[in-house]
Amino acid sequence: MITDANLATIFVGLLGFSVLAYAILDGFDLGVGMLLPMDNQGQRDEMIASIGPFWDANETWLVLAIGILLIAFPKAHSLVLQTLYLPSTFMLIGLILRGVAFDFRAKVAQGRKTMWDYAFKTGSFLASFMQGYMLGIYVMGLETHFYAQCFAILSGIGVTCAYTFIGACWLLMKTSAELQLKAKAWASFYLIAFAVGIAAVSIVNLAIHQRVLEFWTKTPYSFVLAIIPITVFALVVICKLVLPKLLQTHTDGIWLPFVIAVALFWLCFGGLAVSYYPFVIPDKLTIWETASAPESLRFILMGALIVIPCIFAYTLFSYRIFWGKATKLEYY
């Protein structure tokens, strides 16, 4: 039997899963967009072809996350959007720019394609940075003072590096020849940038939130929680050691960096989740203070139990159908 108290926990879990799914799935295609080499049209075409069947559907998880926040935690939704109205607008501009550029680059004359590739790259950077910036402001409890802005900028850079890393790992699997070697070099570089970003954001986060610091250092929880940073460090080291050896004699194991990237996203998100639970707005409002009426949540849950598995199944089906090396996109 699901109690009224458990309903809020279930919905914050669904919200967290939706956000994480979006960060991983749309993260790699945003990363691919930011990595577009503007001096090589052929490679740009191949890179965009690698995300062509997926990029639009990946954004479904963002819509789902915002919908859950609105319906299950309306007070939190109001406060978040009031504070993050401008960065949300810029993020949407970036996503719209990507969508327009993706369609127009396939239909305009060859000489004008570069302009839309620049638009696609710019939109990818704008959306990625703004998502990181909003995450930073959210972690600061929706504060907007000078130090909060500095942390938000640091978070924006960190998320941008994370997306470019997972995007490079995706290209390592989906492309071949010279572009695959480029993807290997990009993955190696942005792995370090991603790792530095994780360390910087984690240190600053512990420094500014006394409650979080006590939670991570208080026994016996500290021994269990230590698994997260230790595993993150181990995966970064493994990936750094594996990347130089890939493609030297064979293509075995080219999937491993992407799997490691996904694991790093899970671990980082898990670290944030355990740090701030049960707050839906860090150190300000708990999930129970902002949740909708239990009757509403029970009704919504019935729909969520139908919709979310359908989205998940469709996502798995699309990736299964279009798995393998990227092929040229054709429009009729």
Rounded Cα distance between 112 and 135, Å, is 35
Q: Are 133 and 156 in contact (CB under 8 A)?
A: yes
Q: Provide the pLDDT for residue 329.
A: 60
**Token output for 56:** 């639009």
The residues spanned by each domain of the chain are: 4-321
Mean of the per-residue pLDDT values of the chain:
88
Quote the DSSP letter at residue 36: -
Rounded Cα distance between 32 and 165, Å, is 9
Query: Residue 211 pLDDT more than 60?
Result: yes
Q: What letters, b where the CB count within 10 A reaches 16 and e where it falls short, cover 165-174?
A: bbbbbbbbbb
Rounded Cα distance between 165 and 171, Å, is 10
Q: What is the pLDDT of residues 150-186, one digit of tens each?
A: 999 999 999 999 999 999 999 998 888 888 899 999 9
Kindly report the CATH number that applies to the domain delimited by 4-321: 1.20.1630
Handedness of CA 150, 152, 155, 156 (dihedral sign): negative
Tell whether pTM > 0.75: yes
Angle ∠(79,85,88) on CA atoms, nearest 5: 115
Query: Residue 331 pLDDT more than 60?
Result: no
DSSP string, 242-259: HGGGTTSS--TTTTHHHH
